Amino acid sequence: MESLKKIISLILTIVFILTCRITPDQKDQIIQAPVTVSSDTREIYLLSDKISILGDGSDIATFTVTRKENGGPDEMIGADYFLCTDSSGVSIEINENFFSSYTTGTYSFVAVVGDKLSNPLSITVSEIPLENEQVQNIAVRHYAGQTFITWDEIYPVIDSDQISLGEFKTVMESFPKDIQYNVYSDPNPIINLSDLEPIATVLSSSVWNDKYYGLTNNAPDQPLERFIVEYGGEPLEPGTGLFVNNPESEGQAYYSVTAVIDGIEQVSLTTSNVSTGIMETTGQGKPVLQKIENPDLFQYISNSTLYYYVRWEAPPNCNIMGKPYNYIVAKPQNMTDPAPVGIHMHCWGGSMKGGYGWWYDAEEGSILLASNQYPYDWWTGYHENLFTENSPQTRTDWENGVVRPYSQNRMYSFLKWLDEDINWNIDLSRTFTAGSSMGGSGSLMFAIRNSDKVAWCHSWVGVHDPSNSPNFTSSYAQMYGPVEYDVRFEDGTDVWDYFNDIWYLENNRDKDIGFLTFCNGKNDSAIGWEQAVDFYNALQETRQPHLFVWGQAGHSQRAVMPYTGEQRNMTLDIRLDQTLPAFTNCSLDDNPGNGDPSDGDETGQINRYLYWETESIIDTALTWEMVVALTEEAPENTCTVNITPRRCQQFSPSSGTSVTWKAENLSSGIIQTGTAQVDTWGLITLDDVNVSKDKVKVTIF
């Protein structure tokens, strides 16, 4: 008996504490510790409901332990644990009363109860029989420019109705067979595959929405959902394969799906894996509603309604056909009609449910639109060959393709669908973008390059020059290629120039950009302070509408709204179809310094105390007029500031001409008059306008 105790003590000391599922990696890692069973421990009996299981990780053998004492009846008891030994003598401890494995072989088990061991019991794990298996029950359905192809997989890697995200990842990584599916399409009936190339290769378990929680594995215990592919439909069954194709042309099409097992394709064709013909049209496709939720609280907003959609994207919204993306559309209880939409972009590690700051403008009735971002391209775009079989590896590879704005395209494409869908009534003229960190970078880059689509932007702690961010230039390089390579954006511009906000502003001075309110931490060493100052200087030099705050909060710095100075709600009615002012060189501005964090004011603001009225604007061919003022919180009663009209709808005097202007204090009358020249870019700047807490009406004629 003493020797038995020593054996058990030794095993407990040297084996890993593992679960009952043995993966190939676990088998390689465990310590060699053969189990020796004494012949005098037969009072404990170990039984199993199976002596042979498949090595698929889901076929389970369940143990039963009984005890017979003093010749009495069998008593069912629980074991302290089970010792499992494989054919090579490797042992592990199992703390559950069941066993499954992905590794074939014969395993011996002993139940341990106190100081006693049971009889040994053997279970054989067999290889999954997949030879000559082929896809069954192919079905095709076409809708709004997309063809949905479904089929029964040859083996349900995941056959349960419910599984957590963490379990899903474990099963997919551990499953011993590499099972994929080739999808073929042809305008003629498919008789053989000799002259066809697959239009897609699809992984097993494609019915599961494994990107629902975002790119990072931050919700391993949360339940995973299966895709719904028809409005009002049910989730597809486990073991169903799915691919969504956007055909390049209209007309009749036929489809076939084949299984590829460990790299060997099963090329047999029958009516079970070849479709009949279907008429196709072209288009981007429509999002499919997955579910509706009514949480008590979402992003600090009560009684909202959340609509969850999936759209299977294709170029130009991503570079791979049929890639599923998740979207959330949040409707506030007080939604205006029509409603502005804010495109919210999450930070690194965030998701469509959070990581973008606030639900901006919710109290004003605005809709939130958000999505899960992958890849992490900072909400911009990436090389057209990334994640394909031609993914760039060398400098030549990178330079032989271009970067396209896939992420910007797909977010606006979804917004356009909202505008066209009869279930939504939105106001595109009041669209705004918002985000934090990666999303703060992306929201500004989107607003600047899509100024005809975005009225205003609210950005926290973003990157403005990807080539000059201490910690994150390398992240952009994974999407664009290294800075030193000559990789081009799709319009031929150097991609590092195109996505450099400073370069873009300086080379598009005549472009009217919406109102930008943003912040950076002066001590945010990861994002970088120098590039933030460069961006501010470019906004001043190019005379674009902006509000900038900074401080010592590092990556926790927060931007503010004009007029109120709060973070969440835009009380000014800023629209695409309405002019707005660009304030520069305000006498109340603080000093951000020269880009060195030790230079300039530690905390500060640019244009924080200035605002304008949107209700009384005059913008005609002959006259531009606007009321501007200082907020009551301004440290002085008056200031001087340069004012440049931007986004004028009708007022557009020719370059080189002279205009007259006046400033009228609404309490005391005219306080200034002058003239100004229309410059090369068609801009008019009024220098040193006197603005006060008493409202001032500025007129140009």
What string of H, E and C letters represents the secondary structure of 613-626?
A: CCCCCEECCCCEEE
Cα atoms in the Cβ-side hemisphere of radius 13 Å centred on 649: 11
pLDDT at 153: 97
Counting every residue, how long is the chain?
A: 701
Phi then psi for residue 684, to 5 deg, are -120, 125
What is the average pLDDT value for the chain, to the nearest integer?
Answer: 93
- Taking the C-alpha atoms of residue 661 and residue 682, their distance in angstroms, rounded to an integer, is 16
Please report, rounded to a whole number, the percentage of residues in the chain having pLDDT higher than 90: 88
Q: What is the dihedral of CA 680, 683, 688, 691, to 10 degrees?
A: 180
For residue 87, the model assigns a pLDDT of 84
CA 333 to chain centre: 26
Match 């419910």 to its residue by tokens: 162
pLDDT at site 258: 98
According to DSSP, the β-strands at 121-126 and 136-143 are unpaired
Q: Is 64 helix (H, G, I), strand (E, B) or coil?
A: strand
- pLDDT value at 30 more than 60: no
pLDDT at 381 exceeding the cut of 90: yes
Cis peptide leading into residue 120 (ω within 30°): no
Residue 664 neighbours by CB under 8 Å, 6+ apart: 670, 671, 696, 697, 698, 699
Residue ranges with strand state E in 95-178? 98-101, 105-113, 116-117, 121-126, 136-143, 146-152
Task: With beta carbons less than 8 A apart as the criterion, state whether 157 and 171 touch.
Answer: yes
Q: Supply the pLDDT for residue 498.
A: 98
Question: What band does 217 get if pLDDT is binned at 50, 70 and 90?
Answer: low
Q: What is the DSSP secondary-structure string of 343-380?
A: EEE--TT-BTTBSSSS-TTGGGTPEEEEE---S-STTT
In tens, the pLDDT along 490-533 reads 999 999 999 999 999 999 999 999 999 999 999 999 999 999 99
Average pLDDT over residues 375-398: 97
**Per-residue pLDDT tens for 616-643?**
999 999 999 999 999 999 999 999 999 9
Mean local confidence (pLDDT), 307-327: 98
Residue 649 scores a pLDDT above 80: yes
Name the 3-class secondary structure at 581: strand
Query: Over the stretch 129-182, which tens digit does the pLDDT of each residue have?
Result: 887 799 999 999 999 999 999 999 999 999 899 999 999 999 999 999 999 999
Say yes or no to pLDDT of 436 above 90.
Answer: yes
At 470-493, the pLDDT tens digits run 999 999 999 999 999 999 999 999
568 contacts: CB under 8 Å, gap ≥ 6 = 358, 359, 360, 361, 362, 363, 561
Is the pLDDT at 693 greater than 60, yes or no? yes
Please state whether 548 falls in left (phi above 0), alpha (psi between -120 and 50) or beta: beta
Burial pattern 554-576, b for ≥16 Cβ within 10 A else e, equals: ebebbbbbbbeeebbebebebbb
Please tell me whether residue 697 adopts helix, strand or coil conformation: strand
Distance CA(326)–CA(350), nearest Å, equals 13
Provide mean pLDDT across the span 407-436.
98
Task: Calculate what percentage of the chain has a pLDDT beyond 70.
Answer: 93
Structure confidence at residue 74 (pLDDT): 81
DSSP letter at 320 equals S
Give me the pLDDT at residue 11, please.
33
- For the ranges 93-102, 398-407, 544-553, the lowest mean pLDDT is seen at 93-102
Torsion over CA: 357, 331, 165, 241 (sign): negative
Structure tokens that stand for 408 in this block: 């910007």
699 Cβ neighbours under 8 A, 6+ residues apart: 618, 623, 624, 625, 661, 662, 663, 664
Give residue 291's identity as a one-letter amino acid code: K
Q: What is the pLDDT of residues 36-91, one digit of tens each?
A: 444 444 588 999 999 999 999 889 999 999 987 766 678 899 999 999 999 888 99
pLDDT score for 130: 86
What is each CA distance from 304 to 94, 334, 353, 357, in whole angstroms? 47, 9, 13, 17
Q: Say what the alpha-carbon torsion angle 271, 276, 282, 285 is, to the nearest 10 degrees.
A: -60
Q: Phi first, then psi: give them for residue 298, nearest 5 degrees.
A: -140, 120
Cα–Cα distance between 698 and 686 in angstroms, integer?
A: 10
Count of CB atoms within 10 A of residue 685's CB? Answer: 17
**Looking at this protein, which amino acid is placed at residue 355?**
G
Token pair 């799709």: residue: 490
At 180-201, the pLDDT tens digits run 999 999 999 999 999 999 999 9
Helical pair 406-420 and 438-449, crossing angle rounded to 10 deg: 70
